[in-house]
Amino acid sequence: MLRLRVAGFALLLAVRGASSALPLRAQTVDSVLARQVERTSLVRLRSEGAVVTGRLIAIGSGVATLETETGRRAVSLSGVDTAWVRGRAAGTGAMIGGIAGAVGVGIFTAVVVHALCETDDCETVGAGFVGGLIGGAGGALLGAGIGALIPKWKRRWP
């Protein structure tokens, strides 16, 4: 029964990963950047060897208008080979914090329960598991908070 559940979960992950990857290949730089206009995101476009960084002001007719440090600049989207959007590292921070918190607090809880146990039937594994769940949740929250402070460029196209 456990093998069936594991196989089903693995199949679900494989199908989900494949289905989420398919639309990305069919997208164009226009459609990717069009979603960023309403948020006036900081974008970085590489076009014909030159990298242009600025706030995306408008997009249309195959041209993206960026507000750069030197003023407004129009970039032809036909020559863009890569596009990045600046975001935050909250997801990465949550993952790192969650893993570190779960392992650290789980081991610490199991060691403390084992050290304080006066009988032979103490549940050190169960205590470590519960401590790991609590530590993982706390670590994920703390890591997400720290990661939200860290800017991170995310490649959006291709």
Which pLDDT does position 78 carry in this prediction? 84
| Per-residue confidence in pLDDT tens, the chain, 158 aa | 444 444 444 444 454 544 444 454 457 777 777 776 566 678 898 988 888 999 988 888 888 888 899 999 888 888 888 888 888 999 999 999 999 999 999 999 999 999 999 888 889 999 999 999 999 999 999 999 999 999 999 888 77
**Residue 60 in contact with residue 118, Cβ under 8 Å?**
no
Which pLDDT does position 29 carry in this prediction? 76
Q: Which of 105, 97, 112, 100 is nearest to 130 (CA)?
A: 105
In whole angstroms, give the CA distance from residue 86 to residue 150: 10
Which pLDDT does position 37 carry in this prediction? 59
End-to-end CA distance of the chain: 41
Which pLDDT does position 1 carry in this prediction? 44
Which pLDDT does position 126 carry in this prediction? 94
**Residue 88 in contact with residue 152, Cβ under 8 Å?**
yes
């398919």: which residue's tokens? 22
pTM: 0.66
**122: which 2 tokens?**
């103490």
**117: which 2 tokens?**
């146990």
Which pLDDT does position 82 carry in this prediction? 87
Which pLDDT does position 17 carry in this prediction? 47
